[in-house]
Amino acid sequence: MFVQSRRPLARPRRRTYCLIPNELPALLRGAPVPGQHPADVHDVVERLTADGIDVVRVSYPDLIGVDRGRDVLVDRLPSVMAHGLAFCRAVYHTSPQGDVVDVAGGLDAGLPDICVRPDLSTLAAIPWEPGVAQCLGEAYEPGGTEPCAEGPREVLRHAIGRLSELGLTPVAGPELEYYLCEPDPDAPNGWRRYGEGPGNVYTVGRKSDPDGHLLRALRHLRDMGLGVTMGNHEFSCGQFEINLEHSGALDAADRAFRLKSAVKEIARIEGRLATFMAKPFNDDGGSGFHVHLSCVDETGRNVFDGPDAGPDGLSETAHQAIAGVIAHAPALAAIFNPSINSYKRFGPDTLAPWLIDWGLDNRSAMIRIPPERDGATRLEVRLGDAGANPYLGIAALLAAVYLGIRGKLTVPPPLEGYGYDTAKAARLPGDLASALDALAGDEELAGVLGERFVGSYLAYKRDEIARFQRHVTDWEFREYAHHL
């Protein structure tokens, strides 16, 4: 559940990461560097060493949002800044089981490298790893100057750039849910939900969190400068949510990516498993990735606010943005709901979307318009599940908003009452294959996101479906083995 701060959701802010809370050295400010003057890097090394940091962890997202990277000894940082870190391009085409998927530009090209350069403006000490700081990496083609078209940060930058053509800057507030699990050799999958107990909905304290996991996570994430605000036990057993501040779209995606990685690390230290997969348990709800989105103009005015536009208080631009998301929702599902498991989260009465609709303060709709207006006017897009890559989900959303505003699309009437009635709106795709077909057929959306990225993504995900279709599941054995 997103909690709106009293500060309006209007002006985008760049989150500054810091080695000492609330103090970012001037030498770390600014854009990522290729070509940064060597003296600046040596200043960074000197400051890191003075703060007791001897390792820099360079992390970047792959296609499914897994953090890939390398630990660099701090005295080697100048060399890394000059030459970059070489990674096999197949990192973007590697499945969770370690298989290299045959995607154009990978196996067929002899598994070439990409070049990853540290973005020193994102340096942050890791509270649970003494002596280690982390920063994000920028992925480039082998020459080290042309951004890698498959890099999720670059895909998002491209979508932001298209909105800027309309004079608009997107502001995003991500919210993510996850399950915390404990080892259980007697459980079918080896894990049980942490702190199991029914009815601990939106609670805090030891009743639903007997070991204080949430408090530890909140403090660590705060100390990393990730802009977390609050957290609570969510609706289902062992499920938590930690809220992030809103900011510019790229910064919001950066922080969501780092939050997911950090929470999983913290859980491992506790001897537990934190999972953001869409629906890990049959008898409980799924985990969502909701995005609160507004756009501001050159003056910082929220262009979604329209007190004179009609009874709903939304501007014509906001209506066009909603219409864009509605029009491209089937294709968006392929990116916001990126796994075979994702579609087990959908369905009537789940509080997860099932239909392509929108509503005013209506949590049964795919797009909810929260009741705040003025600078806080925004869309809450509830389509995504927590397994989505935050860069790609936000990029796809911005692409749909851009197409809606550019095309001056007309929004359908809002949902009245409780949703999940197929007589009121069309259904979202019911499985990953259908969603991928929708993405492949949406030439407008693919054109904004980039043909190279979309082609790679489709090939990667269709291989996932093929592998699943060949795999014999526990359900099949239980259903058939003793009777057929």
pLDDT for residue 258: 98
Per-residue pLDDT of the chain in tens (484 residues, 90 and over written 9): 433 333 444 444 444 444 433 333 333 333 333 444 445 899 999 999 999 999 999 999 999 999 999 999 999 999 999 999 999 888 888 888 888 887 777 677 777 889 999 999 999 999 999 999 999 999 998 877 899 989 999 999 999 999 999 999 999 999 999 999 999 999 888 999 998 777 777 778 888 888 999 999 999 999 999 999 999 888 888 999 999 999 999 999 999 999 999 999 999 999 999 999 999 999 889 999 999 999 999 999 999 998 776 789 999 999 999 999 999 999 999 999 999 999 999 988 788 888 999 999 999 999 999 999 999 999 999 999 999 999 999 999 999 999 999 999 999 999 998 888 898 999 999 999 999 999 999 999 999 999 999 999 999 999 999 999 999 999 999 999 999 9
Tokens of 382: 């509830």
State the Cα–Cα distance between residues 275 and 254, nearest whole angstrom.
19
State the Cα–Cα distance between residues 365 and 360, nearest whole angstrom.
9
Tell how far CA 397 is from the center of its chain: 11
What is the pTM assigned to this prediction?
A: 0.91
Burial class from Cβ neighbours inside 10 Å (0-12, 13-18, 19+) for residue 43 reads middle
Q: Domain 157-475 belongs to what topology?
A: Creatine Kinase; Chain A, domain 2 (3.30.590)
pLDDT for residue 76: 96
Q: What is the dihedral of CA 15, 17, 20, 23, to 10 degrees?
A: -40
Domain range list for the chain? 41-148, 157-475
State the Cα–Cα distance between residues 396 and 393, nearest whole angstrom.
5
> Residues near 355 by Cβ (< 8 Å), separated by ≥ 6?
365, 366, 419, 420, 421, 422, 424, 425, 426, 427, 428
Partnered with residue 291 across adjacent β-strands are 174, 381
Task: Please say whether the structural domain 41-148 has been given the CATH code 3.10.20.70.
Answer: yes
